[in-house]
Amino acid sequence: MPRRRAQSHAWLAWVLLVVLLGGAVVLLRGPASILFWRAVAPIVRVRESFSGTEVAELRAELASSTAALSDRNLLYAEVLDLRERLGRTDRSGTRILASVLMRPPWTPYDTLLVDAGENLGVKVGAFVSAGGQGLVGHVSEVYGNTARVELFSAPGASYQALLRGTVPIAVEGLGGGSLQTLVPAGTQVAVGDTISFPGLLGGIVALVSATEAKEGESFTVIYMTLPVNPQELRYVEILKEN
């Protein structure tokens, strides 16, 4: 008897399932199905659109990252080839290419240790460039195979320079790649203005990042930064002639 009852219950459950499925088919074919799909269609379209946008954005980011990585690898290969071809010195013999071995916090504030020294003719006082016309500091100490570079932004360092190549100023290092100077109130200055050294050497040593002028004071404080971020320097060029 229990076995027959179990079979009977199973048969009833199967019949009920068939009835429900049949009703669902009828319902989905009727007007109610139209209303149902009209209600959910916008949600489905939004979801598909959102998913498509996400995929497109991810593909664009991947393509951009891949291109940037390729460019960086190509530039790195060119630098290595340049070092090998020129013996770390450019064709005119006035610059020495050096790798940055150490930087803050492994060296004192605003100093770098580079892998070129007496062996390549590096001299104390030689200016150091980040490439092109961007100057970042000078050689403060020379060893056998290495040298120490003091950045212009080193705390307490001071230099005579020119604002926009015409206005004489005295630049003082603040540390952390930052510098400052004072100019008479009313001096025309804007963010992005260049600071350079006088003479034929020239070279941009800093860029104006902010100004502070207080009412009633006769001077304006100008804040500046080095033309490049010292933390991102991998190579520098040491000028053999000042």
- How many angstroms separate the CA atoms of 121 and 144, rounded? 10
| Count of C-beta atoms within a 10 Å radius of residue 189 | 18
182 — pLDDT class (breaks 50, 70, 90) = very high
Task: Determine the pLDDT at residue 131.
Answer: 78
Each domain of the chain, given as residue ranges in start order, spans: 1-86, 95-239
pLDDT of residue 209: 95
* CATH, domain 95-239, list 1.10.238.10, 3.40.640.10, 2.40.10.340, 3.40.50.300: 2.40.10.340
> Residue 174 has what DSSP assignment?
E
101-146: pLDDT as tens digits: 999 889 988 999 999 999 999 999 999 998 777 899 999 999 999 9
d(CA 106, CA 89): 27
Measured CA to CA, the distance from residue 134 to residue 195 in angstroms comes to 10
The set of residues, in sequence order, having a beta carbon less than 8 Å from that of 240 and lying 6+ positions away, is: 89, 93, 94, 95, 96, 121, 122, 123, 126
